Structure 1
């Protein structure tokens, strides 16, 4: 059979069952747009190495043939509903599963974080265009509820898969940068190892007594600065050991201080050092959209011989004031390592 049939030379095309329609018919626009979606997903799948996600997208592509066929049969004697409840359930279960694999993202996401997510975002926007066509078709044809539901869930599903690849890329780059950061600090750590109190080397987590001492020193510096602060001390995994809110400090500073400490512990880096990397030209672009991550000053990891045992986060003033108070707390911690807690 030849690829070209010449039957469309006069501007018409065949619907399911053989009926002819103009190529600008809205039904043709609708199933043609679904064809675009399928092709865009195909490009994304060509870049995806994970078998699980490749199979998810392949299943979606096969279902899209059914979507196109249903659209191409509207208004004909051959029309039948082709999208089933289980097709919609598959998308919903996929979305729910992906939501459990990553933190929540806040704000708008700029497309282009990875090759995979970029192509998936194109497919997602084309799905939205297809939805608009299908919505208009409802004015003239009986469009099934499942068809509308499926295309609506599909855009959400593609968004969820795209964000997974963005998050995965961000985490991989973060790990690489953390390793570089830790490697660059090893020589300096080794130079000071003899100064560290031998009894403190056994500390694996920040204890409450030490956390309280650090917070007291931060409060002293806060009084000197003239701004009431919120001070948060966490363990190595970012879980709160102590949270101190000074009188009249801003309520919003509570959450910010906790996030600064969490970020410093989780990413093993002072929060101000993440700012440049989080910009559009940076290696960690988009990380500031990850829930609980802060990329401005006021958070510092607490280390013993290069090992993270906790973190400090301070909020309440300007970034410079927050950093000044947090750095004072960091020096207090370093003093504990060499001299113990001094009153």
Structure 2
């Protein structure tokens, strides 16, 4: 059978069942756009290495043939609903599972983060266009609700899959940048964990710093959470003042962890975490924060711990955490009094 039939040479084409219509018919625009999206999804699938996700994408492509066929039969005697409830549920389950694997996303995403996500984003916009055509068709023809629902949900699913690949890429780059950041810091290369009292921060010192910070917090009239960690970011002391926000507990812990793990005050990481910075994407990591209130604690210029403070404004958090660093330095010089 020949590929070319010459039946469309005058600008018409066949719908399901054989009825002919002009190639600019809205139904042709609709199912043709679905075909465009399917092709873009196919390109993305070539690059997907995860078998489970590749199978999900392939299933979507197969269902899109049913979508196209239903659109190509709209308004004919051969029209029948082809999209089932379980097809929609499959997309919703896929979206939910992928959302569990990554942090919530705020703001717009610039397409092109990865090869996979770039092609999926093209497909997503194709699907949105197909949805507009389908919505217009509904004004003139009987169309199943499931067809409209599926097309709408598919754009969300493609978005979720694309963002999953972007997130994986960000995490990979972040891990590489953190490793490079640490390797470039000669203090870290020179420092190894030791158990003598000059290389660790003990609970007595941590408690003393914490109590001093609490006194200072009372002076400025802000209830704070103070966290002291060791050089690995493990908690040595955690104190929550009365009336401080419960959410500040986690933030204070993250500030201490970040300052210890990355060997830098947390506010200095903000510029590095911007799109032009060396640690772009790092603020998507679960335990990392890139705003003020965390400082490393040093002995002889070597990291032995960190302090994280949360509860006030960034400036207030930094004020108390800086004071904690000052108290620690006084302890080293004069001992606990």
- Give the TM-score band, short-chain normalised: 0.7 to 0.9
RMSD, matched Cα: 3.8
CA displacement 1:200-219 (0-9 Å, x = unmatched): 7687xx85x65543333445
Equivalent residue in structure 1 for 2:267, among 269, 272, 285: 272
Superposition map of 1:1-343 within 5 A: 1-185=1-185, 187=187, 190=190, 198-199=196-197, 211-219=206-214, 228=222, 230-233=224-227, 242-244=238-240, 255=247, 258-259=250-251, 261-262=253-254, 265=257, 268-269=261-262, 270-288=265-283, 294-300=289-295, 312-314=308-310, 316-317=312-313, 319=315, 322-323=317-318, 325-330=320-325, 332=327, 342-343=336-337
Shift of 1:260: 6.1
Task: Check whether the contact 2:228–2:237 (CA below 8 A) recurs between aligned residues.
Answer: yes
CA apart distance, 1:165: 1.2
Structure 2 CA distance for partners of 1:128 and 1:223, relative to 1, 3 Å: same
Greater displacement, 303-312 / 163-172: 303-312
8 Å contact 1:259–1:293 — kept in the other structure?
Answer: no
Secondary structure, in 3 states, of the residue corresponding to 1:198? coil
1:72 Cα deviation after fit: 0.3
Shift in CA distance, 277/92, structure 1 to aligned 2, threshold 3 Å: same
- TM-superposed deviation, 1:340: 10
Q: Secondary structure at the match of 2:32?
A: helix
Please give the secondary structure, in 2, of the residue aligned with 1:141: coil
Which runs of no fewer than 5 residues in structure 1 stay unpaired?
none
Give yes or no for contact 1:26–1:133 (8 Å, CA) kept in 2. Answer: yes
Question: Deviation digits for residues 91-139 of structure 1, max 9, x if unmatched?
Answer: 1111111122122222332322222222222221221111111111111
SS in 2 for 1:104: coil
In 2 relative to 1, CA 314–82 (structure 1 residues): closer, same or farther, beyond 3 Å?
A: same
Deviations 1:138-171 (A, max 9, x none): 1111111111111121111111111111211111
TM-score after normalising by structure 2: 0.80
- Structure 1 window deviating more from structure 2 (2-11 vs 227-236): it is 227-236
